[in-house]
Chains A and B, each alone.
Chain A
């Protein structure tokens, strides 16, 4: 059985590579807490390429406006229809930020309406138990819009999340070297484990 590979989606319009440390940190969390065979390094794959079909979970982030090309949109639609899942996180933590506004628009155009995910959804108990989406340090320190966003949003098909959208800035929250987890009283990448376990079991 092949290892789980954490894949980052590369798109043309913005800074898709704004959080290069996130993949390693997520991989570390999955390997640390579960027995899921996980590849030690992640993959980067172009959204317009059929290579995305090798990675049924894709991570997208950025600071700048997002506009999918026709090829990226078509491939994403195929990807989602065949069983893929997209996790998109706003690296800005803004309500009216450029990434947030454009990304929501593009995601809804590609996959359908984003609805608020209830805080008792299976995602929040897939491995660790959460009362809802964990609050990030950037939500609490007044950065960006100075708001704590109480819910994530999702496109749901057949009872399953196919697109998960966050404007809580997990990309900043998880952007550090995994070795530095030892300085944290609570590992803040635990929610990433829930995300991966959910994707691999639904």
Chain B
């Protein structure tokens, strides 16, 4: 028994001195982590693991580590990565693409690849940057300094339609065409004779479930003035053209009163400020809380305000269609009217898809998957006692007890 006990004590001492073979340290550059993980899953998971992350791990590597932790591997990690975040916001205007915002602790090059395979590269700097990129599809892949790190889900608004109300005329014809060219879904009700309309789509009912924005071009839609008021109070957007404000029916929603006209500047279509070539109203008496979105020669030209939970945008310009016909760059007119629709469009935040993939902030996603990162390196000499240690210890103690009992019995009188 003494020999067994001595052998057991020796085994325990040797085992304590040997490194714990069930604790593994992995890390390294390039795909070292991925290779190490594959080895783990081939030979068996360790009981404990220390992970050194120096390169951006791909989502499969991250998820592989998280899975190991989930099945019981005591995993600790630290990293040498520079935290950053990338956010995409799709703009209301269908033709404007998305705004990319990024913030980071260092200087990185972030590449975006969308559903079409086309990419854009942005430089992330310590301050918040914002840059507009046109991306397609709801998922955008992120690549940092050459490593694929994940995807971002678009925070895409739910787009509804645009309704155009007015009389048949060049303003309506050009407006509908331009909005459709830009990707808006346009419905129209255009008066052509008393109680007679040319329609496109189904103009009624006018409510926020069907439309985001209503363009009111003139007073021919006076029969719908109350509906328009209700629509904007309930969260819809209204764009009032100059002729809609004159004559009264839409004054409740208007932002400013019209007081006379301002003549156009001849030849301005060919200059950098083509809207100066348009005749316009003089807007006065802006409602409280109004903002001036655009000025021309010191006078408000586009104004806006909140009405209830909706927005009203009002233009001073007349015959906006002339800009399209006379400008060498027709895209200016198209972009402008689309901007008007976007400015009035409600943004329904609770309709955004909930992003469950945190790859937009890769370091944060690692922390979510693996637990908080360690600031220090692995504790020296730390190991997990092997399960068989307990058996050996029990055998040793039993042997010593038996030896002692035997001595006592032999020496008993």
CB distance from A5 to the nearest CB of B (A): 10
Complex CA distance for A199 and B190, rounded to whole angstroms: 13
CB distance from B70 to the nearest CB of A (A): 56
Q: Contacts A36-B167, A56-B325, A84-B325 known; list 16 others, CB within 8 Å.
A: A1-B318, A2-B318, A4-B169, A34-B168, A34-B192, A35-B167, A36-B169, A36-B192, A37-B169, A54-B325, A82-B326, A83-B173, A83-B321, A197-B198, A200-B169, A201-B172
Q: Does A156 interact with chain B (Cβ within 8 Å)?
A: no
B170 pairs with A56, CB closer than 8 A: yes
> What are 18 A-B pairs at a CB distance below 8 A?
A1-B243, A34-B168, A34-B193, A35-B167, A35-B194, A36-B168, A36-B169, A53-B326, A54-B325, A56-B173, A56-B174, A82-B326, A83-B330, A158-B181, A197-B192, A200-B172, A201-B173, A201-B198
Q: Which of A96-134 contact B (CB under 8 A)?
A: 126-127
Q: Does B90 interact with chain A (Cβ within 8 Å)?
A: no
A82 pairs with B198, CB closer than 8 A: no
B192 pairs with A1, CB closer than 8 A: no
Complex CA distance for A126 and B194, rounded to whole angstroms: 16
Q: Does A202 interact with chain B (Cβ within 8 Å)?
A: yes
Interface string of B378-403 (1 = CB under 8 A from A): 00000000000000000000000000
Complex CA distance for A74 and B167, rounded to whole angstroms: 32
Q: Does B95 interact with chain A (Cβ within 8 Å)?
A: no
Complex CA distance for A37 and B220, rounded to whole angstroms: 12
Residues of B in contact with A (beta carbons under 8 Å apart): 167-174, 177, 181, 188, 190-194, 198, 217-218, 220, 243, 318-319, 321-322, 324-327, 330
Considering the complex of A and B, which 8 residue pairs feature the smallest CB-CB distances, nearest first? A53-B325, A200-B168, A201-B198, A201-B168, A1-B243, A34-B193, A82-B325, A34-B192
* Closest B residue by C-beta to A78: B328
* Closest B residue by C-beta to A5: B170
Complex CA distance for A36 and B190, rounded to whole angstroms: 11
Complex CA distance for A56 and B322, rounded to whole angstroms: 9
Q: Does A143 interact with chain B (Cβ within 8 Å)?
A: no
Q: List the A side residues contacting B188 at CB < 8 Å.
A: 201
Complex CA distance for A150 and B193, rounded to whole angstroms: 30
B171 pairs with A82, CB closer than 8 A: no
CB distance from A35 to the nearest CB of B (A): 5
Q: List the A side residues contacting B325 at CB < 8 Å.
A: 53-54, 56, 79, 82-84
B173 pairs with A54, CB closer than 8 A: no
A35 pairs with B198, CB closer than 8 A: no
Q: List the B side residues contacting A202 at CB < 8 Å.
A: 173, 177
Complex CA distance for A169 and B396, rounded to whole angstroms: 119
* Closest B residue by C-beta to A3: B169
A82 pairs with B173, CB closer than 8 A: no
Q: List the A side residues contacting B168 at CB < 8 Å.
A: 34, 36, 197, 200-201
